[in-house]
Structure 1
Amino acid sequence: MIIDCDSCAARDISCGDCVMAALLGPGRGSVELDSAEQDALGVLASGGLLPPLRLVPTRRPEDPPSTHTAIA
């Protein structure tokens, strides 16, 4: 799974309650998670230890990732 914060429709709206912002800081571009990492984050989120993923993609997964660099 590729999580691309640059193309998320909820960017700047839900970042404060998103696992990616909790772990990496807001708007850090794209991150690829394998299935084990996805499962681990899901377990931590379901246990209330981390917020859930709030990604709302604005592009299809088969489209190339954004080349826009976020400025923090």
Structure 2
Amino acid sequence: MDFFDEDTLVIDCDRCQVRGDACSDCVVSVLLGAPPEVEWDSAEQRAVDVLAEAGMVPKLRLVPGTPARRRAG
């Protein structure tokens, strides 16, 4: 059974439509070195948004190709 938590952002770099072109100024690449997939809960998303708004890190540049779904594990 698949589970999707609306408060969790799944960032799958392999599915990003602008991968390669936008990686150099994407917060994921700056903070984590472009891993294949990252999950941020709502608090982590807000924290990254605050850092980006303050100009401390780039904004998330993710443009998903297909909706990411969390796999049951």
TM-score under structure 2 length normalisation? 0.80
Partner in structure 2 of residue 2 of structure 1: 10
Cα 1:36–1:7 shift into 2, 3 Å: same
- Secondary structure at 2:38 match in 1: strand
Partner in structure 2 of residue 49 of structure 1: 56
Displacement of 1:60: 1.4
The gaps in structure 1 that reach 5 residues or longer are: 65-72
Q: Which structure would you say has the larger Rg?
A: 2
- Secondary structure at 2:47 match in 1: helix
Partner in structure 2 of residue 69 of structure 1: none
Partner in structure 2 of residue 39 of structure 1: 46
Work out the CA distance in 1 between the residues paired with 2:42 and 2:58: 18
Work out the CA distance in 1 between the residues paired with 2:40 and 2:20: 22
Aligned alpha-carbon RMSD (Å): 1.4
Q: What is the count of residue pairs matched by the alignment?
A: 63
Work out the CA distance in 1 between the residues paired with 2:70 and 2:49: 25
Identity %: 49
Partner in structure 1 of residue 19 of structure 2: 11
